[in-house]
Every structure is written in structure tokens, then in C-alpha cells.
Amino acid sequence: MRHRTRTAVLGSALAVAALGFAAPGATAAPQDITVEKVTVNGGKPVVLGTTAAKTFKVTVTAATDSAFTDTDITLYGPNFAMASSQGDASCSFANGKSTCTATYTIDPDTDFYDNTPAGGWYVNALLQSDTDSVYAEKTGAFKVQRESKLTVNASPEPIKKGKTLTVTGALTRANWETHKFSGYTKQSVTLEYKKKGASAYSAVKTVKSDTKGNLKTTVKATADGSYRWSFAGNSTTPAVKAAGDAVDVR
């Protein structure tokens, strides 16, 4: 089979029309081909920075009475569709199941013009055997996300016990319009603390990032330990934690 190493991101209406995604014959799935599992990027979101391309695999497993003769596995998301396989998927058949794997590459530097593709994406699969075919729409789901970064700084250091410690930082994420990281504003970010010798961090308080993504709060210094910021993430942006900043309390 042909091997495609580069994919194109197209407007959804154009891509669907160009690939002929009308289901052949009836729209209902035939009984002898049933999609059982779809795995994208090993089950993890596809996280993209500002310029580096990301290559990942999509695997579709289906119950079928014979090997597939043709496949068309397509990924699409908000305002965009990415057409990639068009018969290029590698398929194997054994014990009444066929597993097809296709490789995709997304390059935010050339494929995206703005940030609208971030969020929920879906998988469409057109699978054909010698005896039948099925068009499985939205048979799998995954996320394409804007890479996030988080910094922290606690000062002054060292500090006397009971004095006020100021903890700052910044939450940023990839901007596919400017191809730079920019502040993620008005987001809830949790300050966490781990006492020296402890094995885990615990939440101290939650604050909102400002209009530039900056974070700032104060706490009372009690004992040697480390502080960090933690962002839970959402559909467009992955969770991220800052590296801990150790504070010497005297």
C-alpha cells in the first residue's frame, strides 16, 4: 500500500466533498462489519506547540468476515478536516477481526492559521471488504490541544518563619496565529506546597491568572518546602504543573 508521511488540513466542507464521504448505498452499518475499537495517539491527546510537527497513529479494529480491500480513515475537528489515509492504512486480518493503522502528521506552523482547531476531534472510517462496506461516522474521538507551560517563583529566599512569602508565575499556551506562546488569561490555577521530606504536594489556594496570564499570591512561611502552580487543563489546553521552587525557612 502507499505510504503517506504528510497530511493536509482542509476546510471541512471541501475535504468531505473531495473525499466522497457519502456512505455507499444505505447509511446503516452492515451486520458483517462492526467497528469495535478506535485508538488515536495511544489514547492521549495530540498536543501541539508553536512550530514543531506531531506525528501519531490511528488504529481502527473491526469485526469482519474478510480482509479489507480498501480503507479511508479521516480525522476532523472544529472548522477543519484532515484527510490522511485514503487507502494508505496498513491492515491485518485474523480470527474475524481486521486492524488498520494509519499515520498522520499535523504541523501547526503550516496547517493552522488560527486557534480554532483546538478541542474535540473525531474519526470517520470507510472500510471495504470483498463482500461489504461500512461508513462509520464519529466512530472515535480525541483532542487536539495547545501546549501549555507554567512557571513559579517564590521570594524572598531565604525567609524567616512567619513572614510573608510572595509566589508568582505565568500560565502560557501555544498561539497558532502568532506561532509564539502567549498568556492564558482568567484561568483558575492552584498553588501547591510540599513540606521538605514529604512525598506529595497539597493544595494551598486557587487564584486566577490576570490579563497576561500572570499569577501572584502570598502565603505565610512555615517550614522548609517547595511551592508550585498546577493547572487542571481543559478541552483545548492540557494540564500542566510547574517545577517546584524550594524555599529555605529560617
Whole-prediction pTM: 0.85
Check whether 128 has a pLDDT greater than 70: yes
Q: Which pLDDT does position 116 carry in this prediction?
A: 95
* Rounded Cα gap, residues 190 and 203, in angstroms: 7
3-state secondary structure 122-172: EEEEEEEECCCEEEEEEEEEEEEEECEEEEEEEECCCECCCCEEEEEEEEE
Check whether 56 has a pLDDT greater than 50: yes
Q: Which residues in 118-141 are b (16+ Cβ under 10 Å) and which e?
A: bbebbbbbbbbbeebbbbbeebbe
Name the band, by pLDDT with cuts 50, 70 and 90, for residue 28: very low
Q: Which pLDDT does position 9 carry in this prediction?
A: 40
CA neighbor of 136 nearest in space, from 196, 72, 76 = 72
* Rounded Cα gap, residues 38 and 125, in angstroms: 10
Q: What is the share, in percent, of the chain residues with pLDDT greater than 70?
A: 86
Grid coordinates given for 188: 483558575
Check whether 140 has a pLDDT greater than 70: yes
Q: Which pLDDT does position 82 carry in this prediction?
A: 75
* Rounded Cα gap, residues 248 and 223, in angstroms: 8
Instruction: Tell me the per-residue pLDDT of 87-117, one tens digit each, with 9 for 90 and over.
Output: 678 999 999 999 999 999 999 999 899 999 9
Q: Which pLDDT does position 86 carry in this prediction?
A: 56
Check whether 247 has a pLDDT greater than 90: yes
Best mean pLDDT range from 71-85, 121-135, 211-225: 211-225
Q: Which pLDDT does position 119 carry in this prediction?
A: 96
**Quick one: CA dihedral 127, 132, 138, 140, positive or negative?**
negative
Residue 240: enclosing H or E segment and its boundaries? Answer: strand 240-241
Question: Among 17-26, 168-177, 191-200, which stretch is predicted with the lowest mean pLDDT?
Answer: 17-26
